Structure 1
Amino acid sequence: MTETTPDDRKGLKAKTRLIHAGRRPSEQFGFVNTPIYRGSTVLFPTLDDLTRRNAKFSYGTQGTPTTEALETAWTELSGAAGTVLVPSGLAAISLALLTAVKAGDHILVTDSAYRPTRIFCDGILARMGVETTYYDPWIGAGIEALIRANTSVIFLEAPGSQSFEMQDVPAIAKVARAKGVCTILDNTWATPIFFPPHERGVDMAIEAGTKYLSGHSDLLLGLVSANAQWLNRLRATFDAFAMCPGPEDVFLALRGLRTLDLRLREAERQGLALATWLAERDEVAVVLHPALPSCPGHALWKRDFLGSSGLFSVILRPCSTAALAAMLDGLKLFGMGFSWGGFESLVIPFDCRVYRTATQWSPPGPALRFSVGLEDIEDLKADLAEGFERLRAVG
């Protein structure tokens, strides 16, 4: 068997590239998977080699064959110039922002962003002298009016982490490029399989590998991919922090990579089926799923995305806190817990009113975010139907 190269794989589908990218069995005595390399010290054969750092790997913080395998695979999948790995999704957000900002800068962040992103901007970046302005996620090319002379970053998330507003990423990226502003996208919901970030004009793309790349709710990992313009600066910032993930987590992510397409497409199918069923329930006022024609962001999703994942939200009709607790506490198949993208289904209540600043969040009733797993869809519906019965019984 002849190993494929990145050039060989350029014409292949993503499903095929996921299987072959980042693997070199010929360098691993024929074993299929890249092994776990644990270590800090790398030995050099001569003084000259040591002095000149003449080695592919010179110290553990700069990478190992394990991390290189995932970095190169993710770079190929996302259409980037390069990728770095960090210990969590939030670490990926922090690293990308720290790569692009300096004291005295101004940045623009979507009002629908993952809340820890806001906490980092309003805390750490504010202490560094970086000012953050939150903007309406629906703004599109109109974001040009918010760009100042010292604006260095536009941070996007499509769709929004809980409220699922869909952003016009290409339009915003075009404006940013013309103004010399770096665009950073949290692409965790879609992954590069359903949204090729750099092809759509984004400079740096963030992925919480904790979610779909892992697929099993048993690791923490973040990835930041960058285009050629930003890669060297990203790598230099990463090297300065030595923000390294554990080798076991990287190994598990590599294993998850091989089945990512299958799991993501099943999550898409399951998510759409449950979202459609929930839209017909009397207890549900609104379903926030970009792939549904009824969702406000559907046209943008249809134009720019290649699919949808299993994460979406619903707004219930008005009910008491006791009724909501009765519904959720008795669920047998939907766990209540943070994160998503694993094999098990999850649900959490949320309320954006406490932190939105550029837009108003005023749903008619409680909001729930669902992460649909790989259980049988009819069993999931039955579990929720019993939950809705308990909700109605309490009122």
Structure 2
Amino acid sequence: MTQSFPQDHKNQDLVSIARDAGKPYESVNLPIWRASSVLFTNVADMRAEVAATAAGERRAANYATAGTPTTFALADAVAELEAGPHPARTALLPSGLSAIATVLQAFLSPGDHLLMGDSVYGPARLFAQGMLARFGIETTFYDPAIGAGIGDLLRPNTRMIYLESPGSYTFEIPDVPAICSLARERGILTAIDNAWASPVLARPFDWGVDISVLPLTKYWSGHADVLMGAAVVREALWPQLHQAVRQQGLCVGSDDAWLILRGMRTLKVRMQAHESNGLVLARWLEKRPEVARVLHPALPSHPQHARWKRDFSGASGLFSFELHAASADQLSALCDHRRHFRLGFSWGGFESLIMPANLTGLRTAGPWQGGPLVRIHAGLDDPEALISDLEDGFAAMAAAKS
């Protein structure tokens, strides 16, 4: 027997009541604007918004995949901080790797040639060797120290030069302005991964790049609890990026965008602490007998230190150090069971991290010739506590030898 429910006004009001925000209400932080459907007053307004969204007009959305007031606020903030005063637009993507992949797909076509730095983020290399190769796009990996000599690698079909400064794990500082100058003369796009510094410490559009990709997961968030990426492009390139994002249905949620906005407010003061703690550790490690060298661009011992001083206004908390010698068991003993340093991928949060670097398959233009490499992220811990933790790690490493 089918139960019939009374159709009184109380049941009907469940759908229609409490949908008016009332008078304007101003708070310190923007509200989280959750939405899927976007409503319109009339058909004419709907059609106008559909056209504006398709054209990629700023803050236009006929459906929330194109954005909400919360995600629009973050996208505008990223463009202003990363590129200002250069006119630019930002697409928010689900992760840093998604931002990289979307940029490469948006601006490369079958038959194109890509030049990519040999020390880029590992998953970016794998995407080029895998997905791009499947679609007929050839990638050449170049020595990040090549500078203007990259001209010798250019081909008639070279469409983009992809950079990262500093390089992942080995922290080379390429001569980005020289490479960008040459690329612009030849009509070739340049893109850079600006993960390490964030716009607090580096302004890659001032160096001449056309595109910057950012893992907002890292320092922008700062709390290791949200995934997001961003692709920032000069205004003229926006239509092409917008279409790639729109056709793939790529978008981010307002809750995550709000977390990034909140973390962004303290980005500058956190970066100062990461820099300070990282340099304390780097200088201490330089004096350790187990350490062959410390790969930190802010140290005078770094081979591109002068270039780093030219391009950057400070340092983040991420760097590596090379050991004279260590077995796999010794590397594990150094990294395992630390009190303050935790084992984990990513970085850029408040936590301190340590991990052995595995460069197998990640260097082809110049294979790694050094000893065992360990990567450090100096978080917001007391630096003396971090030093004590590393001292215990070196003691454990020595004990593992016997």
2:382 to 376, 383, 386: 376
1:241 to 240, 248, 251: 248
Partner in structure 2 of residue 311 of structure 1: 318
Partner in structure 2 of residue 23 of structure 1: none
Give the distance between the partners of 1:265 and 1:175, measured in 2 at CA: 34
Tell me the CA shift for residue 51 of structure 1.
2.4
Partner in structure 2 of residue 388 of structure 1: 394
Partner in structure 2 of residue 35 of structure 1: 31
**Aligned pairs, how many?**
368
Give the distance between the partners of 2:316 and 2:47, measured in 1 at CA: 49
Question: Does residue 331 of structure 1 match 2:335?
Answer: no
Question: Does residue 47 of structure 1 match 2:43?
Answer: yes
What letter is aligned with 1:173?
C
User: Mapping of 1:262-273 within 5 angstroms?
Assistant: 262-273=269-280
User: Mapping of 1:251-270 within 5 angstroms?
Assistant: 251-270=258-277
Query: Unpaired runs of 5+ in structure 1?
Result: 1-26
User: Mapping of 1:204-353 within 5 angstroms?
Assistant: 204-353=211-360
Give the distance between the partners of 1:333 and 1:114, measured in 2 at CA: 25
Tell me the CA shift for residue 232 of structure 1.
2.0
Tell me the CA shift for residue 235 of structure 1.
1.6
CA contact (8 A) 2:296 2:319 kept: yes
Give the distance between the partners of 2:331 and 2:36, measured in 1 at CA: 50
CA contact (8 A) 2:335 2:356 kept: no
Tell me the CA shift for residue 250 of structure 1.
0.7
Please say which of residues 252-261 and 56-65 is displaced more in the overlay: 56-65
Percent identity for Structure 1 against Structure 2: 48
Aligned to 1:82, the other structure's residue is in SS state strand
Give the distance between the partners of 1:29 and 1:143, measured in 2 at CA: 55
Please say which of residues 27-36 and 225-234 is displaced more in the overlay: 27-36
1:355 to 350, 358, 362: 362
Give the distance between the partners of 1:158 and 1:280, measured in 2 at CA: 26
Tell me the CA shift for residue 183 of structure 1.
0.4
Partner in structure 1 of residue 100 of structure 2: 93
Tell me the CA shift for residue 90 of structure 1.
0.1
Tell me the CA shift for residue 28 of structure 1.
6.0
Larger radius of gyration: 2
Aligned to 1:340, the other structure's residue is in SS state coil
CA contact (8 A) 1:122 1:132 kept: yes
Alignment TM-score, normalising by the size of structure 1: 0.91
Aligned to 2:205, the other structure's residue is in SS state coil
Query: Unpaired runs of 5+ in structure 2?
Result: 1-22, 53-59
Tell me the CA shift for residue 327 of structure 1.
2.0
CA contact (8 A) 2:113 2:139 kept: yes
CA contact (8 A) 2:190 2:209 kept: yes
Aligned to 2:27, the other structure's residue is in SS state coil
Give the distance between the partners of 1:323 and 1:125, measured in 2 at CA: 38
Partner in structure 1 of residue 206 of structure 2: 199
Aligned to 1:199, the other structure's residue is in SS state helix
CA contact (8 A) 1:328 1:387 kept: yes
Alignment TM-score, normalising by the size of structure 2: 0.89
1:295-344 Cα shifts (integer Å, max 9, x gaps): 11211101111111000000011122222222221311100000001111
Give the distance between the partners of 2:96 and 2:63, measured in 1 at CA: 24
CA contact (8 A) 1:28 1:34 kept: no
Aligned CA-pair RMSD: 1.3
Give the distance between the partners of 1:341 and 1:205, measured in 2 at CA: 18
Aligned to 2:396, the other structure's residue is in SS state helix
1:157 to 148, 161, 164: 164
Partner in structure 2 of residue 75 of structure 1: 79
Over 3 Å counting, the alpha-carbon distance change for 1:170 and 1:260 in structure 2 is same
Tell me the CA shift for residue 53 of structure 1.
2.3
Give the distance between the partners of 1:156 and 1:201, measured in 2 at CA: 12
What letter is aligned with 1:301?
W
Give the distance between the partners of 1:383 and 1:81, measured in 2 at CA: 44
1:138-176 Cα shifts (integer Å, max 9, x gaps): 001111111111101100000111111111110010011
Partner in structure 2 of residue 11 of structure 1: none
CA contact (8 A) 1:333 1:383 kept: yes
1:367 to 351, 365, 373: 373
Partner in structure 2 of residue 139 of structure 1: 146
Partner in structure 1 of residue 181 of structure 2: 174
Aligned to 2:71, the other structure's residue is in SS state helix
